[in-house]
Amino acid sequence: MEKQLPNPPKVGMVSLGCPKALVDSERILTKLRADGYALSPDYDQADVVLVNTCGFLDSAKAESLEAIGEAIAENGRVIVTGCMGNEADVIRARFPDVLAVTGPHQYEAVVGAVHEAAPWQHSPYLDLVPEAGLKLTPRHYSYLKISEGCNHRCAFCIIPSIRGDLASRRVDAVLREAERLVAAGTKELLVISQDTSAYGVDLKHRAFPWKGGEVRTHMTDLARELGRLGAWVRLHYVYPYPHVDQVIPLMAEGLVTPYLDIPFQHASPSVLKAMKRPANEAKVLERLRGWRDICPDIAVRSSFVVGFPGESEADFQYLLDWLDEAQLDRVGAFKFEPVAGAAANALPDPVPEEVKQDRYERIMAKCADISAAKLRAKIGRTLDVILDAVDEDGGATGRSKADAPEIDGNVLLRDAAGHAPGDIIPVLVEDADEHDLYGVPVAR
């Protein structure tokens, strides 16, 4: 007699915010899939919808509330999680019909809420999960979260009050996850946290057994071991602590992708002091020169806040001059927003909105000029490129080692027929603009 398979409940997911939140979404979906739930690509078919929110800026909170409202309007059965989940009273006041509200990285609470909202009994025929878990990114790259929380108390940031102090994962657990991801097809590992350089501080850099030896819970040791797995290893959210210098030789050796994402935030000593950030901009310039001596191809990206309370025109000009010297490869900027609960809100001398906008436009123009010059210098070189998409007409979009997905530029290819997403191929750079390279595949 033919076996009639049951139809499991379907779960929809809206994931907002940073890559760390995306990893949270992946973990939640992996657990639900392991419990037998199916996934729905749209509101109509979902028995319940999860909205993973962001609460870092007021604009992000507004986007989160809008997403919750849309999910309720389109489906009606909504569970809210993520950083804005810490403001459950705000969410319930606006949307009293939400089924449950949980905070960031509260995986068990989220899964429990789904079980309650859409009960499901396990089925040996349907409880199947891919070896690497469920992913919201393409198969060929994966975010690897190594810790939660942060020990910094920057005046503009409320992340520690949302996610708590630094809590590092065991290094052997991180490496096992990375091995599984690479075995499942990951070609690029993007290491993320709130403060990657501080990894293991809370564990006193304890060593754990690994491959017949021991590995410390430390950024340098982790980067070295990840590099031995054969994938690109890209380091994000790296504060420029002294031991970061030890990672640069690993980049020169080819073990680690020559790319550092460093959140400088500003350069003016007075603004950095008001932000409660390390004010050592001159030493940073010296170290940047040293890093480039060791690894000439290193790409450094960063983000900056303009219009922080008390930022004078002289402070802003100091930042522009510093950027001329630093010659960062990739830069993002955002205008200061007074986030509820941030210490910066109480600072005197707020910067008018029109001044913030003017400074934002000036810093972006400055960095676009720097980027254009750096990219023009790559014309005629052959670079390894990982492909993200290939068109039917033979065009393709990829990234060099200097480009992280979603936040940096692309390499746009012609004559790429026969290749597939995830392929890493040599590309001759033929042209460049302010943010992207243009090229053609060549024989290795």
pLDDT in tens, 207-262: 988 888 899 999 999 999 999 999 999 999 999 989 999 999 999 999 999 999 99
Which comes out higher in pLDDT, residue 128 or 336? 336
Backbone angles phi, psi at 299, to 5 degrees: -110, 130
Binding site for [4Fe-4S] cluster, residues? Answer: 18, 54, 83, 150, 154, 157
Distance CA 161, CA 253 (A): 39
Q: Return the ∠ at Cα 114 (arms to 108 and 116), rounded to 5°.
A: 100
Q: At what angle do helices 353-376 and 313-326 cross, to 10 degrees?
A: 10
> Above pLDDT 70, what percent of the chain?
94
Lowest pLDDT segment from 84-88, 176-180, 201-205? 84-88
Tell me the one-letter amino acid at 2: E
Q: What digits encode the pLDDT tens for the residues 22-32?
A: 888 988 998 88
pTM for the whole structure: 0.76
Element at 39 (helix H, strand E)? strand 38-39
| CA 250, 135, 413, 377 torsion-angle sign | negative
E strand map for 83-204: 100-101, 141-145, 147-148, 167-168, 188-192
- Whether the predicted pLDDT of 163 surpasses 80: no
- Are β-strands 396-399 and 382-390 bridged in parallel, bridged antiparallel, or unpaired? antiparallel
Binding site, residues? Answer: 18, 54, 83, 150, 154, 157
Lowest pLDDT segment from 44-53, 110-119, 290-299, 410-419? 110-119
Tallying the residues shown for the chain, one arrives at: 444
In this prediction, residue 346 has a pLDDT band, given cuts at 50, 70 and 90, of confident
CA distances (Å), origin 339, targets 58, 158, 159, 263, 345: 6, 8, 11, 18, 7
Element at 29 (helix H, strand E)? helix 19-34
Distance CA 250, CA 54 (A): 34
Q: Where are the alpha helices (DSSP H) in 268-409?
A: 269-275, 281-294, 313-326, 353-376
Rg of the chain in Å (alpha carbons) = 23
User: Domains in the chain, please, with CATH?
Assistant: 10-117 (3.40.50.12160), 141-376 (3.80.30.20), 382-441 (2.40.50.140)
Q: What digits encode the pLDDT tens for the residues 55-78?
A: 878 888 999 999 999 999 999 999
